[in-house]
Amino acid sequence: MQTQTFEKLQYNELKAIVKDYCVSSLGKKLIDNLMPSGNKATVENRLVETSEARALIDYSGTIPLQGITHIENIIEKVQKDIILDAELLTYVAAFLRGCRKIKSYMKDKTFYAPTLCSYSLGIEELKVLEDEIEETIRNNRVDDSASGTLKKIRRHIALTEGKIEERLDKFLKSSQNKMYIQEFFISKRQGRLTVPIKAAYKNQVLGTVVEASSKGSTVFIEPSAVSKYTQELLVLKSEEAIEEYKVLSYLTGFILENVEQIKRNIEVMGQYDMIFAKAKYSKAIDGIMPKVNDCGKISIIGGRHPLLKGNVTPLDFKIGEGFRGLIITGPNAGGKTIVLKTVGLLTLAMQSGFQVPALEGTELSVFDKVFVDIGDDQSLENALSTFSSHVKNLASIINQTNHSTLLLFDEIGSGTEPSEGAALAIAILEEVYQKGAITLATTHYGEIKNFSANHPDFENAAMKFNNETLEPLYKLIIGKSGESNALWISKKMGIQENVLKRARAYMSHKNYDLEYVNQSKIRMPREVYNKPIEGDQIFSTGDKVFLTQYNDYGIIYTPKDKYNNLVVFYDEKFIEVNEKQLKLEIKAKELYPEDYDLNTLFISYAERKLEKDISRGSKKTLKRIKKYGIESLKKYK
């Protein structure tokens, strides 16, 4: 799946939340590398793991996963023949103890978690190694009991240090040395026992200057009276270090002998950490294990976006059964994009083994690919416009789409001339439908709504909107086409009613009222204002005109109305035409005598004769009307 899909749907943000429930770097690393699976069996197994772990947490509350930190780096050191110090050995012992505890914990949990219990069979108990480390290392140092030689050396060290302290104590209590001493205590500096001497008297005291204070007022001197014992102590310390190294080498070698078993344990413990992190997250969001299919059917009941907090309106959604394409319409900021993101993120979460925040009965489909086109991806570096960047993304999506693909398009076809954008959007929707994809798209274009309404495998949906408060209700209604509510919002925001009335008229007939601007607004003298504009055409009843739309001639029947539309008699019928589609050919006064009845131009001979016969009371005509009807007689010749 594209990296862009994860970014737009905030999949990595969701993983970061789950990762915080891990207790070790092992589980965190696995979640970092976790990817949604397109294999139904794998997804179902992941969900079963999470469900069993959730059951164990609900049953016992806590899971013994302590002591599994830092272990990977430590094992790498061992494999590089680096001798571990006492602190790192302690971590190894803690890890082995943790492995043993989780295996013991899982032994009697088969009823609750058969799958997770089977994983514990892969854990190797290394009790001998664990005990050896714990008996040898105490308080992050090699214990005296690690070897007889080490115990003997440390006893001699204690005796020698005692002799040194005894002589230094005598030095401090001597009245002869009182004037030289800065502080009356023994101080250990650079591993050597010293006394603090005033800097001014450092040459008056026999001994070795080990260190000076930061201000230079005090020097720490090892008196010559203890030099003999100090040398003995240095030799003993060296022997102690050699003996400790032997012990640490032995324990590191012991670990190396069992390194393959430990690495297998690391793998299992990491899996446990990741699975139980998923379960803790599921408990935190009150998640459920959805039903799973791979045929494209999605049915979300009371679903919530995993990253939204607070009072979130639950989503009821379905697709893939009865229709494979859904066109969502409604006002801006009404929640259309949130629907796309919720469906997309819940799908990715499910395919990663996460339980989802929804109600029981929810069903999700496994997809090989999930693609999105959401938001503005304008690229300044490539000099691509917003529309161009969207089209480039759509081209890539179309090329990769197959029968197991979920497509999420936000405002498809927008960013260009509306009729072209709508046409392109419909063509794209048809193409991905032919490839078998499940498609969700949002739009404001009426053409796309009409396409969806007429397509047997597409359905319209609308976001509810409170017309009184101008607040979106974030409720999706499938089977209904929504409106943008632009005129309603404009009215609430104070746009005058006459402007809104004109807008509604333009929406219905697309003929624009190009009346002259009021003279007071253009500050034009009346004589200039009343002067006919060059090229202006004034039509009257009876004028012969050329109809550009039909490339033929007609006769004006009624003058133009306030929308600049006229009624023209053409091809034996009356049609409404805008004045811009007419050209004056011959004025009526040039065609007919001054007292000519122009109505005769639009009434047939049969109609005129019928009216005359009725007016003079012709019995024959009245009988024919009764027999054939007046409309038939009008057509009779």
Query: Judging by beta carbons within 10 Å of its beta carbon (0-12, 13-18, 19+), is residue 274 exposed, middle or buried?
Result: buried
Short-list 283, 397, 298, CA closest to 350: 298
- Residue that has been written with the tokens 């974030």 in this structure: 474
At how many degrees (to 10) do helices 148-173 and 227-257 cross?
150
pLDDT of residue 372: 95
Query: CA 393, CA 2: separation in Å to the nearest integer?
Result: 11
Please state which architecture CATH assigns to domain 529-594.
Answer: Roll (2.30)
Short-list 363, 374, 455, CA closest to 407: 374
Query: CA 452, CA 462: separation in Å to the nearest integer?
Result: 13
**Cα–Cα distance list, 144 to 129, 152, 154, 523, 528 (Å):** 19, 9, 7, 108, 115
What phi and psi values does residue 527 have, to the nearest 5 degrees? -70, -30
Short-list 404, 84, 418, CA closest to 262: 84
- Residue that has been written with the tokens 């639009």 in this structure: 602
- Residue that has been written with the tokens 């002259």 in this structure: 516
pLDDT of residue 598: 76
Query: CA 256, CA 81: separation in Å to the nearest integer?
Result: 9
Half-sphere CA count of 116, side-chain side, radius 13 A: 34
Q: Which CATH class is domain 10-126+258-285?
A: mainly alpha
Paired with 188 in beta bridges are 193
SS3 316: strand
Short-list 109, 129, 133, CA closest to 121: 109
SS3 627: helix
pLDDT of residue 142: 95
Give the DSSP H or E segment for 397: helix 386-400
pLDDT of residue 628: 54
SS3 of 497-511: HHHHHHHHHHHHHCC
Short-list 310, 306, 381, 396, CA closest to 345: 306
Which amino acid would we find at residue 425?
Answer: A
Give me the CATH topology for the region 291-491.
Answer: Rossmann fold (3.40.50)
Among the residues of 61-147, which ranges form H helices?
Answer: 71-79, 86-106, 114-120, 127-136
Parallel/antiparallel/unpaired status of strands 325-329 and 438-442 = parallel
pLDDT of residue 533: 46
What phi and psi values does residue 478 have, to the nearest 5 degrees? -85, 135
SS3 499: helix
Query: CA 244, CA 154: separation in Å to the nearest integer?
Result: 11
Short-list 245, 271, 266, 270, CA closest to 76: 266
Query: CA 388, CA 373: separation in Å to the nearest integer?
Result: 12
> Cβ distance 100 to 245 under 8 Å?
no
Query: CA 496, CA 516: separation in Å to the nearest integer?
Result: 20
Query: CA 26, CA 631: separation in Å to the nearest integer?
Result: 91
Q: Tokens in use for 428?
A: 């794209």
Short-list 435, 266, 272, 298, CA closest to 365: 298
Give the DSSP H or E segment for 453: helix 446-454
pLDDT of residue 436: 95
- Residue that has been written with the tokens 């696995």 in this structure: 30
Query: CA 107, CA 116: separation in Å to the nearest integer?
Result: 10
What phi and psi values does residue 8 have, to the nearest 5 degrees? -65, -35
Average pLDDT for runs of 10 along the chain of length 637 = 87 97 94 96 97 93 82 94 95 94 91 93 95 94 93 94 87 85 86 87 86 89 86 91 96 97 96 96 96 96 93 92 92 83 97 97 97 67 62 92 95 82 92 96 89 93 72 78 64 76 69 49 44 63 88 87 86 86 87 77 64 66 60 48
Query: CA 616, CA 608: separation in Å to the nearest integer?
Result: 13
Q: Tokens in use for 174?
A: 């001597």
Query: CA 426, CA 118: separation in Å to the nearest integer?
Result: 52
> Cβ distance 196 to 181 under 8 Å?
yes
pLDDT of residue 523: 47
Parallel/antiparallel/unpaired status of strands 544-547 and 582-586 = antiparallel
